[in-house]
Structure 1
Amino acid sequence: MKRRNMNKTTILMMGILSFTQVSTSLAQTKNKTAIYMNQHKPTSERVQDLLGKMTIAEKAGQLNQINGGAFTGPALNDEGQKGKMDAVASGQVGSMLNVIGVDETMAIQKIAVEKSRLGIPLLFGYDVIHGYKTIFPIPLAEACSWDLPQIEKNSAVAASEASAAGIHWAFAPMCDISNDPRWGRVMEGIGEDPWYGALVSAARVKGTQGDLSNDNLLACVKHFAAYGTVESGREYNFTDVSRFQLWNKYLPPYKAAVEAGAVTVMNGFTTFEGEPVSASKYLITDVLKNKWNFGGFLVSDWNSFGEMVTWGAASDTKEAIYKAFKAGSMMDMETRGMVKFIPELIKEGKITENELNYAVGKILEAKFKLGLFDDPYKFCNKERESNEIFTDGNKSEALKAAEGSIVLLKNDNNVLPLNISQKKIALIGELAASHDDMFDFWIGQGDAKDAISLKEGLENKYKSNVQYAPGYSLDVKSSANYINDAVALANNSDAVVVNIGISGKMAGEDRSLANPIIPENQVELLKALKKTGKPIVAVISAGRPLILTDILPYVDAVIYSWILGTETGNAITNILDGTHNPSAKTVMSFPYAVGQIPVYYNHFNTGRPNPTDDAGNWYSRYRDIPRDPLFPFGFGLSYSTFEYSNLKLNKTFINKNEKLIVTVELKNTGNYDGTEISQLYIRDVAASVIRPVKELKGFQKTLLKKGASTTLTFTIGSKELEYYNMSGDSVLEPGKFEVFVGGNSKDVLSSSFELTK
């Protein structure tokens, strides 16, 4: 979904005032004794009672979601705010998105509850991607923390703030695996690994949805399915994956999110096996509903039903609605086709009322679960909205999340941490002072002016020790004056911190880039700064992995700060001065060059793999660049150093009912206390189908004092050794397996065992 924030206007409020003059409605009076209004009755009984009272048109209305405020997609024919309120009053709308704040949600809910015939409340949905008012790191950065409890907490804070503002439903988490940093929406995802991505997706659902109390929102698993495989990394593009890859790489995070209890799922914009996914019976009915027993409801992405016509999969909107509905899709976001064509399709006998009742019943069930029939205004508490949004406690959680998301990629000669209190620091880079670029496309109701820039973070803590120059402009290719001023400042300093990267405005939906690189004028700046002989620390801001090959020779240290949100400056400052020792690890491989993309750790061996000595001919490689990424999956440094040794397996043979115990010694060999994220991988050496060269199956975060050591223990059982066949069934085959343990996917110790029959 695409959205741009707009200022609140009085137009909406003027359009609804006439509906809110009466405090007690005819609908409430007529229906207060109905079974569906009796909170002591089972939900299933209440749903069936209500369905029995609804007309076909009212049922179709429950499948209709319309935009209430800011535009979130291609401009459609806007019937005007009053027309929307008339539709709500007549029971023709089941949900609205982008209605924000207690005043507005309550006013519109009054129309639905007090003016419609049956008083069915609306669901209010919103893109709460990584925060509502307190903005957390982008999801891709957050995943680099490998801190599942903190990730769950981040989602819980965002849900609490959004629910305090009248929102019921978050269009999150995004569970799309992607290997392609050209795709702008990688910032919203979980990286390239399905096993870890499943854990993160489940944590985000639990944080967002919880027990569906006042502090929680309905979670929405998106974009089902395999949206992250868009061809060429181009938004809304064609996708084509085999069922083999679908089941083993792309579906596990969605499955984990559904198993975590997510009540809703969103269709993607793209295709599977030649069909738009909104009309894929295989994905929606066969997999999601039947195989996974998903009992919630599905919503389209913005006008994705209508776009089936553009794809060439339907001759007109009516046929598109028919195909989507018959595949199992339900709520229609902004095509406005369900409400128009479902009654016609019922009359024509193309769909049955039982099929309609099933879809509508799932939406009503969600509203009952939220308690909206018992208290339609439970999310409309002005005091809570005033007191529980953008609190000091929420900002404290955002700071912890941001610190834990920053990845240290290079630290030659232990340049970091900087003793800033004793040194003159030259801070350079437009990004360091820009508030707008600290935020990305998905900022909820976050306000950039409330966030702390890197310049402010350093100056607030170290005052006169930090001097600033922009060094470059994000709007021009190069400028000698910018560079000359920066070099002069560097020459008068003890160390240089240069904040480079790309604008936060280039992260998110419809932000695909053919060349995810450091801009040329910033590379020119680094070359000039290198000549000063001063230590240079690069802080890189971006919503995706950028190609850093050209800049590494010119910098002594690299901090990848991603897009961190509200607490950006404080978090980076705490990394620079060592207040927080970095521990984050990459969840996407960083390409060496654009031509490598997609590059990922869990690839297949090929029939002609790269020789270990890189010698010879006739093997799978590039002639002009390395085959390996610049930084592999799971990579990240600390101000400490860690040593792995003495990898042991308790057995060399196990059967399917036994557990393999893997132990390894981990020692902090550095001069700082630090946290290491140790990773366990396996390889199924020979199977009925080819398996990746490595698959992540375990990790541990361990805090070690300097000089201390510990024994880590991992357990491998049948679950870790299974894979999916083309039908989505788990397969466990005997044979040889390799085990790898280390600090990233490349630098590992290895051993092997055999699974017997």
Structure 2
Amino acid sequence: MKKLFFIAVLLIVASCNTKESGSADYKDASLSIDERVEALLPKLSLEEKVAQMRIFHANIGTKPDANGNLKLSEKVVEKLKLGIAGIKNPGEHIDAVAAAKMNNELQKYIIENNRWGIPALFVTESYNGVDAEGCTRFGRPMTSAASFNSELVQRQWDIVGREARLRGMHMCHSPEADVVRDPRFGRMSEAFGEDTYLTTQMVKNAIIGVQGNYEGLGNGTHIGAVAKHFAGYGQVLGGSNFAAIEISERTLIDEIYPPFEAAVKEAKTLGIMASHGDLNGVASHGNPELLTGVLRDQWGFEGYVVSDSNDIARLFYFMNVAESPEAAAQMGLEAGIDIDLYAEDSYAYLPEIVKKNPELEKLIDRSVRRVLRTKFILGLFDNPYINIEDVEKGNRAASSLELAKESDLESIILLKNEANALPLSKDKSSKVALLGPLLKGNTKEMFESVAGSNVKFIAEKGFQLTNQKGGAPELLERDPKAIASLVNKARSADVTILFLGGDEYTAKEAYFSNSTLGDRATIDPVGPQDELLEKIKALGKPVIVVLKHRRTLAINVIAEQADAILDVWDLSEFGDESTAKIIFGEVSPSGKSPVTIPRSIGQLPYHYSMKEINYKKEYLFLDKGPLYPFGHGLSYGDFKYSDITISNAEITPDTELEVSVKVTNNGSMKAKEVVQLYLKDEIGSVTRPDKELKGFDKIELDAGESKTVSFTITPKMLEFTGISMEKVLEAGDYTVMVGTSSKEYLETTFKLKK
């Protein structure tokens, strides 16, 4: 009897050990990621699977208490019982060390309070560096694009990835791979410009940087990228957020898709976010041809697709393409949306939906595999916590702050420099007035640190542009006393530097709420800015304009009246210091405009690479062409282009060409120049762009130095979508343009023979 009892006990123990062993397979780091995913997925209940398809925002009840300890609301506690795909922005309003400590506590709570110990993804965004308190503040993506330096952008986003991971984050709903061409759109500066090739290079390098060249994901030094918004989001009608998108299939394929394709194929982005909009009337969040056909079947994407905020539910109550919230959830699932961002009225319904349609659980399994795979790639099952000592040493490192300054200096664009108004002298005794509504509280201090003791500064903001209400800002009434005071300040100075343009209130995201606005119906500078410039210009003294903004502005009066214009977009936390270094000649400006600057909103749509036929007619009572073309940017150097050569007069589908040009700095100062390559298909079976950027190279030349710059022209550069909607190479004549902008270049020709 005792022997039988002992055998029975052994069998029970063996059974328990087998069960524990089986349940621990997914924790075995020696297995492949796919093996670990397949070991874990069958263990999850339907409800636990759906929990891995949802992200909620930390603002519903995830924060530190007065002592810095984790505090969770009842709502969050309830949500975490089954586990969760992720949480958006935990710890965003506290410094990096405090955030890392809190996020360690939060992750520990999540792991210990779901059956299988599945960690969560903590998600941030990045528009000026990590969107969180206490991180290095870089310039906006549009600002970075003006550098035309993709290697610099990669280094910048490498810091973003490192600083985000140090505070306990794992994914980033950035960068934007949208091509933006409408300055009415309030989110313009979140993207990298109007050009497909420039955007592609910047997005690709941003993702490589933030993901640590992919290797930084598993070793815990970097975070995963989520390229957005797929696809065509920047093309909303009227520049109005949430509006329809009317775009031809050919333009979509040739101009809108390439940055996303490079994000997937070349940069290996871990995530993709779907677009608010529609394509040919099909809502992107319910579009299987887009999210599965193009993204996965054509490009081989293996990561997860996340909805934009609440957009699956909006298939029902906003887009009106689903009959019910449940139908919207099913539509999103079938289209290929893996994670529902924020909504309580969408994927939350999936367990009940599956009871009626059991076959849908296969699609749920498909999505959960992708989410779990991401968590394994990031190493969260094996190393879910942050070493606090690393945070204290690595966040806002001196090298990161220096990189922010370097990025600024390469991104500032000198639009105009009449009679060499810039640079100003630090050696000559002078008085400089720093004036205008875009002046910051520390601008004077930053200028003083650069200029030295010979230059005396006076500073006055004068007036604000709006009442700075976050939802729907209102323009303030003209203040004649403020204007008079600024003019008097300028009268007492030798030179005036005016800080004009727009700010975070005049260009911003127009959220879904009707009470939140961010897009504009005009693109002229708001308020009495032009009047202020004209009054100060009338004093007969030099006027320098520092143009700060988050959307392209039609700066006609500024272009006419200012002696010099520095277009700085939205720089880093050291932006005014960097601007001062440019103004006082420590560094030559080398930025180039990543957009075409129009004279009037009436010219829209207006970008340099429009079809050639678009340039046939100009407008009554408006000067010809843009105020400043794409790629434009002056220098303190004096660059001359000469001796353009091409290696062969013909190219075939199996050969390449090399085009070269000699660039000489005839100026007296070392300076950087962006050499730009454009191609034009002279005759096409469909109407073709006037020209297309196909390469750029940023070089630095000493005074008097020359350099030969070469570009390789490949058949791939000549492909486009033909009449049959297939990619084609067409025989014929091509023009090569190499120069300093899309309007100033040397050219030569070649033929494609098949």
Task: Specify if TM > 0.5.
Answer: yes
Q: Does 1:88 align with 2:80?
A: yes
Distance 1:362 1:173 in 2: 20
Cα separation, partners in 2 of 1:31 and 1:315, compared to 1, 3 Å: farther
Alpha-carbon distance, 1:755 to partner: 0.6
Alpha-carbon distance, 1:673 to partner: 1.5
Distance 2:261 2:151 in 1: 20
Which of 335, 338, 345 lines up with 1:330 in the alignment? Answer: 338
Which of 32, 41, 46 lines up with 1:42 in the alignment? Answer: 32
SS in 2 for 1:550: helix
Aligned residue number for residue 366 of structure 1 = 374
Distance 1:504 1:692 in 2: 34
Aligned residue number for residue 192 of structure 1 = 194
Alpha-carbon distance, 1:319 to partner: 0.7
- Cα deviation code 1:519-569 (max 9, x no counterpart): 341111111111211111000110122111122222100001111121112
Distance 1:507 1:137 in 2: 15
Aligned residue number for residue 700 of structure 2 = 703
Aligned residue number for residue 450 of structure 1 = none
Q: Does 1:424 align with 2:430?
A: yes
Distance 1:418 1:483 in 2: 25
State whether residues 679 and 693 of structure 2, in contact with CA within 8 Å, keep that contact through their aligned partners in structure 1.
yes
Structure 1 window deviating more from structure 2 (480-489 vs 166-175): it is 480-489
Aligned residue number for residue 315 of structure 2 = 308
Distance 2:570 2:597 in 1: 16
Distance 2:668 2:208 in 1: 38
State whether residues 405 and 584 of structure 1, in contact with CA within 8 Å, keep that contact through their aligned partners in structure 2.
yes
Aligned residue number for residue 19 of structure 1 = none
Aligned counterparts, 1:470-489, within 5 A: 470-475=461-466, 476-489=476-489
Amino acid corresponding to residue 74 of structure 2 in structure 1? K
SS in 2 for 1:507: coil
SS in 1 for 2:528: helix
SS in 1 for 2:573: helix
Aligned counterparts, 1:236-635, within 5 A: 236-259=242-265, 260-309=267-316, 310-337=318-345, 339-349=347-357, 351-377=359-385, 380-431=386-437, 433-434=439-440, 453-461=442-450, 462=452, 465-475=456-466, 476-510=476-510, 511-606=518-613, 609-610=615-616, 620-635=617-632
RMSD of the TM alignment (CA)?
Answer: 2.0
Which of 233, 241, 245 lines up with 1:235 in the alignment? Answer: 241
Aligned residue number for residue 113 of structure 2 = 115
Distance 2:278 2:576 in 1: 41
SS in 1 for 2:136: coil
Amino acid corresponding to residue 260 of structure 2 in structure 1? Y
Distance 1:70 1:624 in 2: 54
- Cα deviation code 1:428-447 (max 9, x no counterpart): 33445435xxxxxxxxxxxx
Aligned residue number for residue 717 of structure 1 = 714
Q: Does 1:673 align with 2:670?
A: yes
Distance 1:588 1:382 in 2: 42
Structure 1 window deviating more from structure 2 (228-237 vs 709-718): it is 709-718
Aligned residue number for residue 209 of structure 2 = 207
Aligned residue number for residue 100 of structure 2 = 102
Alpha-carbon distance, 1:592 to partner: 0.8
Structure 1 window deviating more from structure 2 (125-134 vs 344-353): it is 344-353
Alpha-carbon distance, 1:339 to partner: 4.4
Alpha-carbon distance, 1:138 to partner: 0.6
State whether residues 63 and 338 of structure 1, in contact with CA within 8 Å, keep that contact through their aligned partners in structure 2.
no
Structure 1 window deviating more from structure 2 (32-41 vs 668-677): it is 32-41
Distance 1:216 1:275 in 2: 35
- Cα deviation code 1:691-713 (max 9, x no counterpart): 10101111111211122222222
Cα separation, partners in 2 of 1:506 and 1:385, compared to 1, 3 Å: farther
Alpha-carbon distance, 1:125 to partner: 0.6
State whether residues 472 and 525 of structure 1, in contact with CA within 8 Å, keep that contact through their aligned partners in structure 2.
no
State whether residues 678 and 701 of structure 1, in contact with CA within 8 Å, keep that contact through their aligned partners in structure 2.
yes
- Cα deviation code 1:659-689 (max 9, x no counterpart): 2221222121222221111111111112222
Alpha-carbon distance, 1:361 to partner: 0.4
Aligned residue number for residue 442 of structure 1 = none
SS in 2 for 1:184: coil
Structure 1 window deviating more from structure 2 (422-431 vs 104-113): it is 422-431
Aligned residue number for residue 20 of structure 1 = none
Distance 1:455 1:235 in 2: 37
Aligned residue number for residue 67 of structure 2 = none
Which of 106, 125, 130 lines up with 2:123 in the alignment? Answer: 125
Alpha-carbon distance, 1:112 to partner: 1.8
SS in 2 for 1:505: coil
Distance 2:554 2:319 in 1: 33
- Cα deviation code 1:401-429 (max 9, x no counterpart): 11111110000111101113424233333
State whether residues 430 and 474 of structure 1, in contact with CA within 8 Å, keep that contact through their aligned partners in structure 2.
no
Aligned residues with identical type, % of pairs: 30
State whether residues 61 and 75 of structure 2, in contact with CA within 8 Å, keep that contact through their aligned partners in structure 1.
no
Distance 1:174 1:359 in 2: 23
Distance 1:472 1:574 in 2: 26
Alpha-carbon distance, 1:472 to partner: 3.7
Distance 1:667 1:283 in 2: 47
SS in 2 for 1:737: strand
SS in 1 for 2:224: coil
Aligned residue number for residue 232 of structure 2 = 226
Alpha-carbon distance, 1:32 to partner: 9.1
Aligned residue number for residue 165 of structure 1 = 167
Aligned residue number for residue 642 of structure 1 = 639
Alpha-carbon distance, 1:90 to partner: 2.6
Cα separation, partners in 2 of 1:477 and 1:726, compared to 1, 3 Å: farther
State whether residues 221 and 257 of structure 1, in contact with CA within 8 Å, keep that contact through their aligned partners in structure 2.
yes
Q: Does 1:148 align with 2:150?
A: yes
SS in 2 for 1:738: strand
Structure 1 window deviating more from structure 2 (166-175 vs 463-472): it is 463-472
Amino acid corresponding to residue 232 of structure 2 in structure 1? A
Distance 2:591 2:542 in 1: 23
Distance 2:615 2:121 in 1: 53
SS in 2 for 1:465: strand
Alpha-carbon distance, 1:720 to partner: 1.2
Aligned residue number for residue 43 of structure 2 = 53
Alpha-carbon distance, 1:107 to partner: 2.2
Alpha-carbon distance, 1:49 to partner: 0.9
Aligned residue number for residue 513 of structure 2 = none
**Count of residues in Structure 1 that have an aligned counterpart in Structure 2:** 692
Alpha-carbon distance, 1:98 to partner: 1.5
Cα separation, partners in 2 of 1:191 and 1:351, compared to 1, 3 Å: farther
Alpha-carbon distance, 1:39 to partner: 0.6
Aligned residue number for residue 3 of structure 2 = none
Q: So what's the TM-score if we normalise by structure 1?
A: 0.88
Cα separation, partners in 2 of 1:368 and 1:98, compared to 1, 3 Å: same
SS in 2 for 1:551: helix
Amino acid corresponding to residue 522 of structure 1 in structure 2? Q
State whether residues 184 and 512 of structure 1, in contact with CA within 8 Å, keep that contact through their aligned partners in structure 2.
yes
Cα separation, partners in 2 of 1:514 and 1:472, compared to 1, 3 Å: same
Alpha-carbon distance, 1:734 to partner: 1.0
State whether residues 680 and 739 of structure 1, in contact with CA within 8 Å, keep that contact through their aligned partners in structure 2.
yes
Alpha-carbon distance, 1:118 to partner: 1.0
SS in 2 for 1:571: helix
Cα separation, partners in 2 of 1:57 and 1:71, compared to 1, 3 Å: closer
State whether residues 313 and 346 of structure 2, in contact with CA within 8 Å, keep that contact through their aligned partners in structure 1.
no
SS in 2 for 1:518: coil
Alpha-carbon distance, 1:621 to partner: 2.3
Q: So what's the TM-score if we normalise by structure 2?
A: 0.89
